[in-house]
Structure 1
Amino acid sequence: MSIELNHLDTGGEGVPLVVIHGLFGSADNWRSHLKAWEGRRRVIAVDLRNHGRSPHAEGMGYAAMAEDVAALLDRLEIARCHLLGHSMGGKVAISLARLAPERIASLIVADIAPVAYGHDHDSVFAALRRVEAGAPTNRREADALLAEHVAEKPVRLFLATNLMRGEGNVLALCLGLDEIQADYESIMGEPAGHEPFAGPTLVLRGSASHYVDDEHLPALRRVLPEAEIVTLEAGHWLHAEQPEAFREAIDAFLARHDASA
C-alpha cells in the first residue's frame, strides 16, 4: 500500500520536473533550486517515506518507494514527468522509470549507479541516535552531539536539517529512523525492476565522489543504455556544491527533450 507523500510544488505549465532527495534528505533541501526554476518550469520536490514531512512506514524497498511516487503523480493528475533523483532518490527514480517507463519523459540521475553498495552510514546512524538520546534544545547543542560521531561540518549541517522543534522545546528528528535503519539493506541494494530504461537519460556524477566510478559504468549502461554522463567538479552532494553548473546541465538536457515530452 502506497504512502501519501508530502511535496513542494512551484506550479506552472508543461511537463513537470519531479525531484527526489537522497537518504536523510528532504524536499526542503531543494528549495533554492525550486526558486531558481520557478517561473520557467513546474517543479515538484517530494519527501520520501520516513523523510521530511511524509508519514513513517515500514519498508524502504525501491519498488515500494517508487509506488509512493507514482501514487503522488496520480494524485496530482500528472501522466508524464521529467524525473530527477539524487543518491537514494536516484535509485527510486531508476526504479520508477523501469517499472512505469510510459510515465517518464526523461530521467536524470545524480551521483548514483544502479548497483549495490557497502555499508558506510554507521557513523551517521550513531550521530542521529546520539541526538535522539541527548534531547538538545538548540542547534548548537545538537551540533555538539552530532560531532561526537561525525567530524565533517557540512555533513552535520545537512543532518541537522532533519531537526524540528518538538514537545518540551526539544529538537527532535523528523526522520523515521527506526524504519530506515531496519531496512538499510534495501537502501544499499539495487533499484527495482528488471528491464532497462531506454528513454532519454542524463547521469550527473561528482569528480570527487566514489558513487559513479568508471567501474560502475558497465552496469549503468546495462540499466540505462541511453545515458549521457556529465562529470561536475564536486563530491557526492554535487547539487549543493555546484548548484549553477548542476542546473545548467539539467536545463540543457531538458531543453532537448521538452518538445518530445
Structure 2
Amino acid sequence: MPQLEVDGAALTYDDEGPREGDGVPLVFVHGWTANRHRWDHQFEYFAGQRRVVRLDLRGHGESTGAGVRTVEELAKDVLALLDHLEIDRRVLIGHSMGGMIAQSITLDHPDRVERLVLVDSISRMTYSWARGLLMGVSTLLPFKVFVAANIQRAFAPGFPREEIRTYTAASEATPKEVVMTLYGAMRAFDVLDRLGAIQAPTLIVHGYHDIQLPLNQMLRMARGIPDALVRIIDAGHELPVEKPAELTATLDAFLADRV
C-alpha cells in the first residue's frame, strides 16, 4: 500500500477508481481505534464509478505515528494527504471520530468540500456529571479491558460475537498513547456553535441503537446544519460494518440526488 510521510507519521492509504467522470472524489475517514477497512463495502462499490480515497489515520491500522492531541491535528493529516494527491474538492465521508475530522475540515476549508456525510458522529459530547465521572474512571481500567468495553458496546444487540472479537482485537492493537489521547480529543471536540457555517449539502446517517454517540445528540447537530438530511438505520454505532449494503445504498442515493 502507498504511504505518505507527514510530520513524523507514515500514513497508509488507498487511492482507486477512474480519474475521469462527473463526480468529484470520495474521501472516507474512519473512527477511533478503527482503520480504513471499516469502509470496505462502500470503497469497493464506489471505486467502480469514481475516484475514492481512504486512509489509516495516524497511529491506526497500517499507519505509524503518534503525537496528535486534537481532532483538528488529525484533520491536518487528512488535508496533507489530499494535497499530495492533488484533490482540491471532494465529498467527505466520516464515521464517528472521522465525522468530527470531516466537520473540522468543512468548517475551515468550505470551498474544498462539495458534500459532507457524517455517519454515527456528533459535534459536541454532552453527558451528565455521573456519566462524565464514569467515562473518566473507565480510563483507569487495564488498557485492553478499556478498549474491549468501548468496542463491544458499539455494536447493536445480536451482532455476531466472533466479528465483534475481530474488531476488538484490531482496536487493541492501536498504540495505547494514540487510543487514550484521542479519547480525550473526542471528549474535547466542540463545533456545535459553528455548524450554521456549513453550506455543503450534508447527509447524516445514524444507527438507531447507537449508545456511544446517542441519537439525541446527533439530532442536535442536525438542527444546526442548514442543509442537512437525516437517515436513521436499524444498527448500532458501527454502521459501516453492521449494515454495509444499506449504508452504501443510502450514500449512493444522496450522491445521485435521489433523496
User: TM class, shorter-chain normalised?
Assistant: 0.7 to 0.9
Q: Separation in 1 of the partners of 2:166 and 2:252?
A: 28
Question: Which residue pairs with 1:157 in the alignment?
Answer: 166
- Matching residue of 1:126: 142
Task: Kindly name which structure, 1 or 2, has the bigger radius of gyration based on alpha carbons.
Answer: 1
> Which residue of 7, 16, 20 maps to 1:10?
16
Q: Distance in 1 between matches of 2:42 and 2:140?
A: 25
- Aligned partner of 2:129 in structure 1 is none
2:223 to 210, 221, 224: 221
Cα distance, 1:179 vs structure 2 = 3.0
Map of 2:242 onto structure 1: 241
The CA deviation at 1:156 is 2.3
Whether the 8 Å contact between 1:107 and 1:200 is mirrored in structure 2 is: yes
Mapped partners of 2:183, 2:162: distance in 1: 24
**1:192 Cα deviation from its structure 2 partner:** 5.5
Q: Within 2, Cα distance between the matches of 1:57 and 1:185?
A: 14
| Distance 1:123-1:11 versus aligned 2 partners, 3 A rule | same
How far apart, CA to CA, are the structure 2 residues paired with 1:153 and 1:120? 29
Residues 219 and 29 of structure 1, relative CA distance in 2, 3 Å threshold: closer
Structure 1 segments of 4+ aligned residues over 3 angstroms from their partners: 1-4, 120-127, 149-155, 191-195
Q: Distance in 2 between matches of 1:76 and 1:201?
A: 24
Point out where structure 2 has 5 or more consecutive residues left out of the alignment: 1-5, 127-131, 154-160
Q: Corresponding residue for 2:53?
A: 44
CA distance in structure 2 between the aligned counterparts of 1:129 and 1:47, rounded to whole angstroms: 23
For residues 146 and 118 of structure 2, the distance between their equivalents in structure 1, rounded to whole angstroms, comes to 32
Q: Secondary structure at the match of 1:55?
A: coil
C-alpha distance in 1 between matches for 2:164 and 2:254: 29
SS in 2 for 1:78: coil
CA distance in 2, matches of 1:122, 1:91: 22
CA contact (8 A) 2:28 2:54 kept: yes
Partners of 2:230 and 2:140 lie apart in 1 by 29
Aligned length: 231
Give the alignment's TM-score, normalised by structure 2.
Answer: 0.78
> How far off its partner does 1:193 sit?
8.8
What is the alpha-carbon distance in structure 2 between the residues aligned to residue 125 and residue 12 of structure 1? 47
Aligned partner of 1:214: which letter? N
Cα–Cα, structure 1 residues 215 and 90, in superposed 2: closer, same or farther, change >3 Å?
A: closer
Paired residues for 1:79-228 under 5 Å? 79-117=88-126, 118=132, 119=135, 122=138, 126=142, 128=144, 153-162=162-171, 173=173, 175-191=174-190, 195-196=194-195, 197-210=198-211, 211-214=213-216, 216-222=218-224, 224-228=225-229
Change (3 A) 1:8 1:235: same
Change (3 A) 1:61 1:5: same
Measured after TM superposition, the shift of residue 10 of structure 1 is 1.7
Q: Deviations over 1:41-89 (max 9, x none)?
A: 2211111111112222212411111111111110000000000000111
Q: What is the alpha-carbon distance in structure 1 between the residues aligned to residue 217 and residue 64 of structure 2?
A: 37
Shift of 1:36: 2.1
The aligned counterpart of 2:3 is: none
Judge conservation of contact 2:11–2:58 (CA < 8 Å) in 1.
yes
TM-score, structure 1 as length reference: 0.77
User: Structure 1 regions of 5+ residues with no counterpart?
Assistant: 132-145, 164-172
Partner of 1:254: 255
Cα distance change, pair 183–208 in 1 and its aligned pair in 2 (3 A):
closer
Distance across 1 between alignment mates of 2:183 and 2:112: 28
